[in-house]
Structure 1
Amino acid sequence: MTAEDGTDRPEGKVVALDALVIGAGPAGLMAAEELARAGRDVVLAEAKPSAGRKFLMAGKSGLNLTKDAPVDAFVAAYGDAADWLRPMLEEMGPEAVKTWAEGLGQPLFTGSSGRVFPEAMKASPLLRAWLGRIPATLRLGWRWTGWLGDAWRFETPEGPCFLAPRVVVLALGGASWRRLGSDGAWADWMAERGIEIAPFKPANMGFVVEWSDHMRPHFGAPVKAIRLITGEKSVRGEAVISARGIEGGGVYAVSAAVRDGAEFAFDLTPDLSKGEVAARLAKKPRKQTLSRYLGKALGLDPVKRALLQEWGRPLPQEQELARLIKHLPVRHQGPRPIDEAISTAGGIRETDVDDTLMMRAMPGVFVAGEMLDWEAPTGGYLITGCLATGRWAGLHAARWHG
């Protein structure tokens, strides 16, 4: 891939192009590759000074590319969007993603939970190999700012530029991690064309908790081996206590339901029934403090005991205390701000695109990645969803000749 900064583009001139992809994250890169593979002359415009910034950030803690799971179970994780995305995920699901990554020279391994990672445990080697393989022109620092008439308007390092592409794939991301490029500004430009998007909402995020002072010693501590309960659904996982609230993998797994109004509670003893907890509580020696006994008899570590006091005091007796330990309501003040979320829900609705991901109101303009109104949990689903929709949009955009 060749990077250019646009110095040869005179201000005000409308430049004709064959194929334009806007956004150089996983969805945009996949779309650009499919377009180029089909013989289209591709320009890939990226607002930031380098490509794949959010992708690289995701790889800092180990790049979870996908999850090794049967197709039906994998697709089901996309919730309300599962039927919509199924054709794309069946073609670019876990097995295809593994083949793709290995084709870029990245050996993989699968963890005990089924999550698939590069052996390098980071994104940079894969991204370098991928960028080197895509025969497209990469223009960095080119920020799309809407339209001037029918021309696509960009702010570039050398001033305004106006493009007239035959076909376009938009892969601008959602509205979280603004500093990495996903700011959701494109929603206003879509509104100019009469396209109403589903409002952005945080996804895979933590929740605000206004802790009392006695929780300060536990900031940064994990809450291990709990069951997180939202209505009739529950998942086993972990949470992390922070000065701002609660976060972590277990919280992210239930965050969409909690965000949308479901109750939220912790089961602090997921391996014991309520009856077993009550029976053990009934055996507490009179002279032993409750806190010490909770640790000894029920295995509640200091963090769990602190949470029980934080959200449950004054603590009730035996049967009621057992019920509280098994269903401790999480007193939170709502999701963390959208810009801190790992991903977002909302965006361009299924009804606004056709089966090829082309905008119904804008022939020749295709959409991929987090711009679309779908959400999925962490664990490899997000990146696979972006790759799958990017590939789908790129394949169909390659066939468009207007």
Structure 2
Amino acid sequence: MQAHFDAVVIGAGPAGLMAAGEIAAAGHRVLVAEAKPSVARKLLMAGKSGLNLTKDEPLSQFLTAYREASSWLSPVISAFDAQAIQDWAQALGQDTFVGSTGRVFPKVMKASPLVRAWMAQLTNLNVDVRTRWQWTGWDGDALCFDTPDGAQQVSATATVLALGGASWSRLGSDGSWAQILADRGVGLAPFAPANAALCVNWSPHMTPHFGGALKSMRWTAGDLTSRGEVTLSRHGLEGGGLYSLTPTLRQGADLMVDLLPDLSVEVLESRLSKKPAKLRLAHWLRNGLRLPPAKVALFFEMTKGADLPRSQWVATVKSLSICHQGLRPMDEAISTAGGVKQAALDDGLMLRELPGVFCAGEMLDWEAPTGGYLLTACFATGRWSGRAAAEWISR
């Protein structure tokens, strides 16, 4: 037998749950189908490090984080911006605070209380949540699922797809939905890693520095720069300071780092000119510039221990070229670029090729750095598609 719902939301991450809440609040009967054994797994994983919900900064500045996608995401995010997200969390009983960099976190610094309150709210709205329901496509107009009880088919007046990107597959985002939509003529951009670490083939002398943080440095790749922190790992370099540079690194831009961004070339040259002629490079880095051991190690790793002429010392400190082997595998990336193209969607995020089917979250073709931008767009596109789906049902 085939059940019918006003709406079926496939994917129980932040975008899907937001869409489900909007549709149910409009008085419609909603089923949420999640392939994994529990909901919001990626959100809960992100919450282990504090759950950066959004960033409190002027909207015009906020939108620049979405680069090429900023124009079409602008009305969506403007309708559910940083302040709206804080108000929403507060309504769920989760107080927030704004950190020194503008990032917004729950005061409890974890995701689980927010998710519990959110699920309780959806239960009160009579949202039916089914876990271990793996979507396999359509049979005619019916949605097909593999479930613990065997194959199931469900029909819906509106469907919201919130299936995630193609990273962290163990948490549910494996991109397997792409072929299903491609077979229906939906325009897709290829997946690519975003917010990804870099591979570096370190020499043995770097081993003692693994796990160490590189702070107070300016990283540059193409037209992007970052002052964020980066961590040395056995695989390479990772952290927010690099993640925001992924779009240009993915295109092959060179990575450069300024080890002392707060001191100009002129100041460093002046200070160096006063040092003895017999000064050794290592001594100058450690004692003259007071660079921490991890920075000194990185300097010599990237210069291959070369005996640089004194005339090149300052220039190399200010623009150290980072030799790497490209981005880490896509499944390790925090998020992905690519997915459903804007041209495949109408203004309500409904697929032009599949009337009544809406898309939300990371499966759309946009990317943004960490720092609150990722979650904001997931929340906002989920809310937007949910409201559009509710209007579709009512019509």
Alignment match, 1:317? 309
**1:280·1:298 contact (CA, 8 Å) conserved in 2?**
no
Gaps of 5+ in 1: 1-12
Q: TM-score, normalised by structure 2?
A: 0.96
Kindly provide the amino acid, as one letter, of the partner of residue 238 in structure 2: E
Question: Secondary structure at the residue paired with 1:162?
Answer: strand
Kindly provide the amino acid, as one letter, of the partner of residue 334 in structure 2: I
Does residue 60 (structure 1) correspond to residue 48 (structure 2)? The answer is yes
Distance 1:99 1:319 in 2: 56
Per-residue deviation at 1:287? 5.4
**1:144·1:155 contact (CA, 8 Å) conserved in 2?**
yes
Per-residue deviation at 1:235? 2.0
Alignment of 1:147-226 (within 5 A): 147-226=138-217
Distance 1:38 1:170 in 2: 19
Gaps of 5+ in 2: none
Per-residue deviation at 1:27? 0.2
Distance 1:87 1:19 in 2: 24
**1:281·1:318 contact (CA, 8 Å) conserved in 2?**
no
Per-residue deviation at 1:312? 1.4
Alignment match, 1:281? 272
- More divergent stretch after superposition (284-293 vs 112-121): 284-293
Match of 2:343 among 351, 355, 358: 351
Alignment of 1:20-99 (within 5 A): 20-99=8-87
Does residue 400 (structure 1) correspond to residue 388 (structure 2)? The answer is no
**2:186·2:351 contact (CA, 8 Å) conserved in 1?**
no
Distance 2:349 2:302 in 1: 46
Kindly provide the amino acid, as one letter, of the partner of residue 40 in structure 1: H
Per-residue deviation at 1:191? 1.6
**1:282·1:318 contact (CA, 8 Å) conserved in 2?**
no
Match of 1:367 among 343, 359, 372: 359
Question: Secondary structure at the residue paired with 1:399?
Answer: helix
1:267-311 deviation line (CA, Å, top 9, x unaligned): 011111112223333333355542122112112111111111111
Question: Secondary structure at the residue paired with 1:59?
Answer: helix
Per-residue deviation at 1:322? 1.1
Match of 1:330 among 301, 322, 328: 322
Per-residue deviation at 1:229? 1.1
The total of aligned residue pairs comes to: 390
Kindly provide the amino acid, as one letter, of the partner of residue 217 in structure 2: I
Question: Secondary structure at the residue paired with 1:85?
Answer: helix
Per-residue deviation at 1:213? 1.1
Give the superposed CA RMSD. 1.3
Does residue 271 (structure 1) correspond to residue 262 (structure 2)? The answer is yes
Distance 1:30 1:37 in 2: 11
CA shift in 2, pair 1:233/1:50, >3 Å: closer
Question: Secondary structure at the residue paired with 1:87?
Answer: helix
Does residue 300 (structure 1) correspond to residue 295 (structure 2)? The answer is no
Question: Secondary structure at the residue paired with 1:386?
Answer: helix
Q: TM-score, normalised by structure 1?
A: 0.95
Kindly provide the amino acid, as one letter, of the partner of residue 395 in structure 1: R
Match of 1:391 among 380, 383, 386: 383
1:52-97 deviation line (CA, Å, top 9, x unaligned): 0000001000010000111111112111111101111111000100
Distance 2:336 2:262 in 1: 33
Distance 1:191 1:262 in 2: 31
1:351-373 deviation line (CA, Å, top 9, x unaligned): 00000000000000000000100
Per-residue deviation at 1:186? 0.1
Per-residue deviation at 1:333? 0.6
Residue identity over aligned pairs, in percent, reads 53
Per-residue deviation at 1:146? 1.3
